[in-house]
Chains A and B, each alone.
Chain A
């Protein structure tokens, strides 16, 4: 207990401060009421997202910068191994940038076109995406990644690029990243490990459900689906995963009966997975909320805050996109996952 206090007193205080910078459900609801995207952006400029609004005109970099800023703040108030874990968590944006580069190189897009989609956060990032984007081809990209874990993962999949295209590298990169993140969580102290793997487990479940649904749409075989999804998770056991990989959706509710996801995806086959997935994100947001409300000195607080921040950014993107095509506020609200008031 005293150890927890020592490790997390500062982090907890800082995160409590940062939590007040989130808009929350009520903030998002009031943004929904603005008549246009411009008006919503105007309103957003007077929130802690103020600094991001200018950048939003060209891409959603502004949001990512905001995330990088708060991420760095959180990382700086933690000690190792918690610091290393949270930093590793934030690196999923680096993985996202690498995926952009892989796709760009495979499609022979000019480097200039890629730069707007790449993020590098000083103090968090481990590679320089802007430099990597100058790679001549995918092999050169792997070389430029040097001795990073990304290079190891991608090198093992390079031989498949000719037959499977850049997808082979993307999936190898992503799965490797999440497995390392899970392994990193396992290095935390037992209480922290439990809390971190609980939150990550739900996130992994959501990712797995989304990926399985997408792979079915791409008509991949069950073997491929199982190899392209995460073995770890919270509620989705290997048996459930195998069942989901073999079934095309109609029997999913039955397979998920013993999980909290039961009932949440009932209409997935009718509305499409992405539309139905908001319920899953809400479930994660609810778990984050519970984590933040309980005993304050553990890894769940910084990790939960970052998840809450990401969910809010997801909602803001949806909100602004919906405003741009004049979707009525009530309909926008249906797609928002934030639950924190």
Chain B
């Protein structure tokens, strides 16, 4: 549980002609995390990467066309979680031809729809135009025959309105915008000037992109009669558009399944082609490399051999034996493998970064610690049960948030357990006896327990760091920050502190403490100078005086850092007790307010008090629950992880049809 899933490295050599079948078999099993072959093997001259640019481009175009088509036809996109596994590979040309045909059908419909929509806009613009002219009270024929005024109207991009004004600054003019801009950002404007300056106005409106909405010659009569005529045209247009939309829906029914199936095929092929990005080939052979969980090695090997009739060479390697892995050139992907109750806490780990292969995988520890700290700070039987209930509701109703639901239920359980220890139910201490202590009555014990927890938690961090050193087979790391010397110093200080607490005042004198602590601190102080001297003696190159001074200063800073961080990292766990107290304090405040309300009137007061208690509990659950969760995460990230964890691991993402989620053997 404290290590990621053991991995094995696979190299496969197949005939180039059988690459497609082999890749398909690999994707079908869905456990191989592909690795760039060229980084995995020694450079060989005839081996070259696949040139997949054109094929990917064609597949992307097809995907785009199908997406566009489905969007137009209001078809739900297909689920890609379960891509089809059919052989052979797509005949791209045939699919392109079919998609073109489907797109053409839709395009013709869309074109008719657009023409009808344009007509509708045209009629609506005419309507707006006529209505704008209505206050003049003149028949349209007379407006066309104006002798001294030139008038034009049309659609102008709204942002060009100021530009048009500026360009007409040298002639007297009037520009009247009507209504608001449409979806295309254009607004209906009417521009007027003296007839003799008509050309200037024409040039200006043209260059400002005004699209004239002329009053057609067939429209004559008063604005009222023309309006009625245009409204009738609009109605006919609406009917035509409704008919086209019905055709669109029929087309969706007719080709919907085919379009979805093609989309899934294209997606499948894109996955297979893009997988080739990691592969390489010569004229005759192709190479595939990757990582997979060791327990699944036999399954994959069987599938590969079956796919190419055993015409392949398969090489397996353990990460520990690979020089490229030891040298850090190839990262081994990480597959976390935790029991179902702990698995949601992998999110917490991912937030900090995955561990590197071979390092400790601390999900189980952080899960237990998180829940303990949460329960410690939020202990209450009633509120714990509410949290559990909310978690259960989410678990049953909202599939996407199941991880959070499990965490919430577990938090509820721990809050309930600690509630039993504190003897509180919704803040009331009357109903249950305290199995351990009541926070507000025994603050000292609460603080001591919090610090003891902190010491234990940090010690686990220091031990895990030592475990990592051993696992990395690099003993030089033992002397680094938070290494063996820092652990020794910390545990010595803790030992002295405990002895002083348990033995009574004066058990540990200042002299004894200094004597004991001087051993690990002296070692930290001497570590760098000794290392430098040994290196210098080996290389026969002695450091200069300034180098020596820098060395001493560096060592002093490290000592200071070790001491300060040891104290502060431990003291910060007092917050566990502080938040447990604030939790109880908030209840105290809620009940005080409720008491005050209850005293005011008979029945109203009782109801008011009940409402105050309910509201208080809701606020505490929502607000304090959040704060306590944040504090728990903070203690884990800053105090615990900083002791041993560096992150930087690469997530295991196998090639598989459809899903990208990690698998669990």
- List residues of A whose CB falls within 8 A of some B CB: 131, 152-153, 155-157, 159-160, 163-164, 168, 172, 179, 221-224, 226-228, 231, 238, 242, 246
Q: Is the CB of B166 within 8 A of A242?
A: yes
A321 and B24 alpha carbons, distance in the complex (Å): 52
Determine the residue in chain A with the shortest Cβ distance to B162: A231
Expressed in whole angstroms, the Cα–Cα distance for A176 and B543 within the complex equals 66
Give Cα A52 to B169, complex, Å.
49
In the bound complex, how far is the Cα of B164 from the Cα of A228, in angstroms? 10
Q: Is B170 in contact with chain A by the CB < 8 A criterion?
A: yes
Distance of A244 from chain B, by nearest CB (Å): 13
Inter-subunit contact B209/A157 (CB<8 Å): yes
B209 contacts A226, C-beta separation under 8 Å: no
Q: Which residues of B contact A160 (CB under 8 A)?
A: 206, 209
C-alpha spacing A200/B657, complex, angstroms: 49
Tell me the interface secondary structure of chain A in the complex.
helix
Known: A172-B209, A223-B200, A227-B208. A156 touches B167 (CB 8 A): no
Given contacts A222-B170, A242-B166, contact A155 B184 (CB under 8 A): yes
Q: Taking A131-B61, A179-B159 as contacts, is the C-beta distance between A224 and B166 under 8 angstroms?
A: no
> What B residues does A226 contact at CB under 8 A?
163, 166-167
Complex Cα distance, B167 from A227, in Å, reads 6
- Please, how many angstroms separate the alpha-carbon atoms of A77 and B203 in the complex? 46
Q: Mark B150-176, 1 if CB is under 8 A from A, else 0.
A: 000001010110111011111000000
16 additional A-B pairs beyond A155-B184, A223-B167, A227-B164, beta carbons within 8 Å, are A131-B61, A156-B184, A156-B209, A157-B209, A159-B211, A164-B206, A221-B203, A222-B167, A223-B200, A224-B167, A224-B204, A224-B207, A231-B162, A238-B166, A242-B169, A246-B170
Q: Which residue of B lies closest to A242 (CB)?
A: B169
* Inter-subunit contact A228/B207 (CB<8 Å): yes
**Bound Cα distance A228, B184 (Å):** 20
Residues of B contacting A223 in the complex (Cβ-Cβ under 8 angstroms): 167-168, 200, 203-204, 207
Give chain B residues whose Cβ lies under 8 Å from the Cβ of A221. 200, 203
How far is A231 from B161 in the complex, measured between Cα atoms in Å? Answer: 12
> How far, in Å, is B579 (CB) from chain A's closest CB?
29
Residue of B at shortest CB range from A246? Answer: B170
Top 9 closest pairs, chain A to chain B, by CB? A227-B207, A223-B204, A226-B167, A224-B207, A223-B167, A159-B211, A156-B157, A223-B203, A227-B208
In the complex, which of the residues A157, A221, A223, A231 has the most CB atoms of chain B within 10 Å of its own CB atom?
A223
Q: How far is the CA of A157 from the CA of B210 in the complex (A)?
A: 8
| B185 interfacial by beta-carbon distance below 8 Å | yes
Q: A131 vs B68: C-alpha distance in the bound complex, in angstroms?
A: 15
B168-214 interface with A by 8 A CB criterion: 168-170, 184-186, 200, 203-204, 206-209, 211
- The residue from B155, B185, B204 contacting A227, defined by CB atoms under 8 A apart: B204
> Considering the chains assembled together, what is the distance between the CA atoms of A242 and B211 in angstroms?
24
Name the residue of chain B whose CB is nearest to the CB of A227. B207
Nearest-neighbour CB distance to chain B for A57, whole angstroms, equals 21
Q: State the total of A-B contacts with C-beta under 8 angstroms.
A: 54
**What is the distance, in angstroms, from A105's C-beta to the closest C-beta of chain B?**
18
Mark interface residues in B133-165 (1 if CB within 8 Å of A CB, else 0).
000000000000000000000010101101110
Bound together, the chains give a CA A152 to CA B185 distance in angstroms of 8
A17 vs B159: C-alpha distance in the bound complex, in angstroms?
40
Closest to A151 in B: B184
Shortest distance between the CB of A242 and any CB in chain B (Å): 6
Shortest C-beta distance, B84 to chain A (Å), equals: 27
A121 CB → nearest B CB, Å: 15
The 26 listed contacts between A and B (C-beta, < 8 Å) are A152-B185, A156-B157, A156-B184, A156-B186, A156-B209, A159-B211, A160-B209, A164-B206, A179-B159, A221-B203, A223-B203, A223-B207, A224-B167, A224-B204, A224-B207, A226-B167, A227-B160, A227-B163, A227-B164, A227-B167, A227-B204, A227-B208, A228-B207, A231-B163, A238-B166, A246-B170
Residues of B within 8 A of A246 (CB): 170
* CB-nearest residue of chain A to B208: A227
**A163: nearest residue on chain B (CB-CB)?**
B206
User: Would you give the shortest CB distance from B154 to chain A, in whole angstroms?
Assistant: 9
Do B203 and A224 touch across chains, with their CB atoms under 8 A apart? yes
A152 touches B184 (CB 8 A): yes
Collect the chain A residues with CB atoms within 8 Å of residue B170's CB.
222, 246
Q: A238 to chain B: which residues have CB within 8 Å? A: 166
Note all chain A residues with C-beta closer than 8 A to B164.
Answer: 227
- B residues near A153, Cβ cutoff 8 Å: 157
In the bound complex, residues from chain B placing their C-beta under 8 Å from that of A164 are 206
Q: CA–CA, A284 to B159, complex, Å?
A: 28
In the assembly, what is the distance between CA of A45 and CA of B207, in Å? Answer: 46
A231: chain B residues within 8 A (beta carbon): 162-163, 166
CA distance A228 to B208 in the complex (A): 8
A147 CB, min distance to chain B CBs, angstroms: 11
Q: Which residues of B contact A159 (CB under 8 A)?
A: 211
A227: which B residues are within 8 A, CB to CB?
160, 163-164, 167, 204, 207-208
For the complex formed, measure the closest distance between the CB of B334 and the CB atoms of chain A, giving whole angstroms: 25
Q: How far is the CA of A131 from the CA of B64 in the complex (A)?
A: 12
Chain A neighbourhood of B167, CB < 8 A: 222-224, 226-227
Residues of B331-376 at the interface with A, using a CB-CB cut-off of 8 Å, are none
Cα A157 to Cα B184 in complex, Å, equals: 12
In whole Å, how far is B599's beta carbon from the nearest beta carbon of chain A? 51
Contacts of B206 in A (CB 8 A): 160, 163-164, 224
User: Chain B nearest CB: distance from A218 CB in Å?
Assistant: 12
Instruction: Give B20-71 interface residues, CB cut-off 8 Å to A.
Output: 61
Q: Nearest residue in B to A155 (C-beta to C-beta)? A: B184
Give the shortest distance, in Å, between A245 (CB) and chain B (any CB): 8
Q: Which of B162, B185, B204, B207 is the one whose CB lies under 8 Å from A156?
A: B185
Bound-state Cα–Cα, A221 to B160, Å: 17
- Chain A nearest CB from B67 CB (Å) reads 11
A149 to chain B, nearest CB (A): 10
Chain A, Cβ-Cβ closest to B60: A128
Which residues of B are found within 8 Å of A163, using beta-carbon distances? 206
A164–B209 CA distance with the chains assembled, in angstroms: 11
Q: How far is it, in angstroms, between the C-alpha of A160 and the C-alpha of B156 when the chains are bound?
A: 12
State in angstroms the CA–CA spacing of A156 and B184 once bound together. 8
Chain A contacts for B209, CB-based, 8 A: 156-157, 160, 168, 172
Q: When chains A and B are docked, how far (Å) is the Cα of A156 from the Cα of B206? A: 12
Q: Tell me how far the C-beta of B71 lies from the nearest C-beta in chain A, rounded to whole angstroms.
A: 10
What B residues does A157 contact at CB under 8 A? 209
State the Cβ distance, B638 to closest chain A Cβ, in Å.
20
Which residue in chain A gives the minimum CB-CB distance to B158? A156
Residues of B within 8 A of A224 (CB): 167, 203-204, 206-207
Measured between C-beta atoms, what is the minimum distance from B56 to chain A in Å? 12
